[in-house]
């Protein structure tokens, strides 16, 4: 049976998307760790087969053509079960905003991404040491989380410049351990490669890709928070103590209400994101993670001592949020938003 939805009201098409994600989760998307990379590959292929991997990408270019709200809804739903896979899909959507402008190489990679190939989209911070000079990209990336081996790479160097690198041009390091995000297959990367002019993309599509990353990450945080709050409610209703369920206790009910209210608010805010308000989306990302982590931590507490056991869902969701906050660059997004706010105020 498909689980309930705590987000904003949905139309018939959006309900069909929710049902599709739930059916895939029940039948084919079984969350696994980095040691089972073949199964991560199979999960990506399943999402691509059903049109979910790039659901919101331009239909003319091979994507699903869904509107942003429906896309974020699907991502939030998937994040409640497998956050690393959902983050991989967010990056695929961001890549699809840039690749069509990268000539023949971009077109070839776009076809592969629509088919479920992994792609890492990295918004490079000013202190990360990645440079594009004289037609050559050099430097290193400490962490990529593509949910796949040997991903293609899209570097977002600044607000208007991106570089597209096929997987064969990137030297990947060994796997990186994380707090959460099972199946993210995180790696570092070294870059020292000449890039043709057509692989350097300049224009508004780069800002769109950055905004998609932030909007997608916020939707994932909201989806994880919703799952954590629902798990806490289910556990508290079923757990009997002193002859009554935990929900009979006023303090428990108050905590559950706070968790559900925050989760619903996060979903409403995340699904209302607009790509033409990149500053607003970036500014909302860090607070979204802070609130979602509070919900997940409260859900752990709602389980008592059992909340810290791996057999229960909530402790893993809390770890996922901590890892995803780092992977999404929430802190850097907040700095960009603050800079944009100051610049707007000066003008």
What pLDDT digit, counting tens, does each position of 36-56 carry? 999 999 999 999 999 999 999
Tokens coding 60: 């003319």
Could you report the per-residue pLDDT of 172-216, keeping only the tens digit for each?
A: 999 999 999 999 999 999 999 999 999 999 999 999 999 999 999
Which pLDDT score, from 0 to 100, does residue 3 have? 81
How would residue 345 be classed by pLDDT, with cut points 50, 70 and 90? Answer: low
Per the prediction, the chain carries an average pLDDT of 92
Tokens coding 106: 């971009």
The Cα–Cα gap between 44 and 86 comes to 10
Secondary structure class of 229 (helix, strand, coil)? helix
Which pLDDT score, from 0 to 100, does residue 343 have? 62
* Residue, of 240 and 116, whose pLDDT is higher: 116
CATH level 2 (architecture), domain 205-346: Up-down Bundle (1.20)
Which pLDDT score, from 0 to 100, does residue 310 have? 77
203-207, 266-270, 330-334: segment of lowest average pLDDT? 330-334
Q: Is the pLDDT of residue 330 over 80?
A: no
Which pLDDT score, from 0 to 100, does residue 340 have? 65
Tokens coding 292: 């979602």
Q: What is the pTM of this model?
A: 0.94
How would residue 111 be classed by pLDDT, with cut points 50, 70 and 90? Answer: very high
The residues of the chain that CATH labels 2.40.110.10 are 118-202
Q: Is the pLDDT of residue 241 over 90?
A: no
The Cα–Cα gap between 203 and 161 comes to 7
Secondary structure class of 190 (helix, strand, coil)? strand
Segment 125-130 shows an average pLDDT of 77
The full 3-state SS of 12-81, as one line of letters, equals HHHHHHHHHHHHHHHHCCCCCCHHHHHHHHHHHHHHHHCCCCCCCCCHHHCCCCCCHHHHHHHHHHHHCC
Percent of the chain with pLDDT over 70: 95
What is the third-level CATH fold of 118-202?
A: Butyryl-CoA Dehydrogenase, subunit A; domain 2 (2.40.110)
How would residue 252 be classed by pLDDT, with cut points 50, 70 and 90? Answer: very high
Could you report the per-residue pLDDT of 157-174, keeping only the tens digit for each?
A: 988 999 999 999 999 999
Segment 290-314 shows an average pLDDT of 88
Q: Which of 59, 56, 110, 52 is nearest to 82 (CA)?
A: 52
Q: Is the pLDDT of residue 346 over 60?
A: no
Secondary structure class of 275 (helix, strand, coil)? coil
The residues of the chain that CATH labels 1.20.140.10 are 205-346
* Residue, of 149 and 126, whose pLDDT is higher: 149
* Residue, of 340 and 123, whose pLDDT is higher: 123
Which pLDDT score, from 0 to 100, does residue 85 have? 97
Which pLDDT score, from 0 to 100, does residue 27 have? 82
Q: Is the pLDDT of residue 304 over 80?
A: yes
Q: Is the pLDDT of residue 98 over 80?
A: yes
Q: Tell me the H-state helices in 115-203.
A: none
Segment 58-77 shows an average pLDDT of 96
Q: What region, left, alpha or beta, does residue 20 occupy, with left being phi > 0 and alpha being psi -120 to 50 degrees?
A: alpha
The Cα–Cα gap between 223 and 232 comes to 14
Q: Is the pLDDT of residue 347 over 60?
A: no
């Amino acid at each position: 049976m498909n689980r309930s939805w705590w987000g904003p009201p949905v139309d018939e098409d959006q309900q069909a998307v929710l049902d599709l994600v739930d059916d895939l989760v029940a039948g084919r998307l079984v969350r696994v760790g980095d040691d089972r990379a073949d199964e991560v590959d199979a999960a990506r292929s399943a999402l691509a087969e059903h049109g979910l991997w790039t659901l919101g990408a331009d239909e003319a270019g091979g994507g699903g053509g869904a509107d942003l709200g429906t896309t974020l809804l699907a991502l939030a739903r998937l994040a409640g079960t497998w956050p690393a896979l959902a983050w991989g899909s967010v990056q695929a959507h961001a890549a699809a905003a840039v690749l069509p402008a990268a000539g023949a190489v971009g077109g070839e990679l776009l076809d592969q991404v629509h088919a479920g190939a992994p792609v890492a989209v990295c918004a490079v911070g000013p202190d990360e040491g990645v440079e594009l000079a004289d037609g050559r990209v050099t430097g290193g990336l400490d962490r990529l989380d593509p949910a796949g081996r040997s991903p293609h790479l899209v570097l977002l160097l600044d607000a208007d410049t991106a570089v597209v690198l096929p997987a064969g041009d990137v030297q990947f390091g060994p796997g990186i351990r994380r707090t959460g995000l099972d199946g993210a297959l995180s790696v570092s990367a070294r870059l020292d490669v000449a890039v043709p002019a057509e692989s350097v993309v300049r224009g508004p599509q780069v800002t769109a890709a950055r905004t998609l990353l932030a909007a997608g990450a916020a939707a994932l945080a909201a989806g994880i928070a919703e799952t954590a709050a629902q798990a806490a409610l289910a556990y508290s209703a079923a757990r009997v103590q002193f002859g009554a369920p935990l929900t009979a206790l006023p303090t428990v009910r108050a905590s559950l209400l706070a968790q559900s209210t925050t989760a619903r608010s996060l979903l409403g805010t995340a699904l209302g994101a607009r790509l033409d308000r990149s500053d607003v989306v970036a500014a909302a990302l860090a607070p979204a993670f802070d609130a979602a982590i509070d919900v997940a931590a409260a859900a752990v507490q709602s389980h008592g001592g059992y909340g810290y056991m791996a057999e229960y869902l909530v402790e893993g969701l809390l770890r996922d949020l901590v890892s995803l906050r780092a992977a999404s660059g929430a802190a850097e997004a907040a700095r960009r938003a603050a800079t944009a706010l100051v610049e707007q105020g000066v003008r």
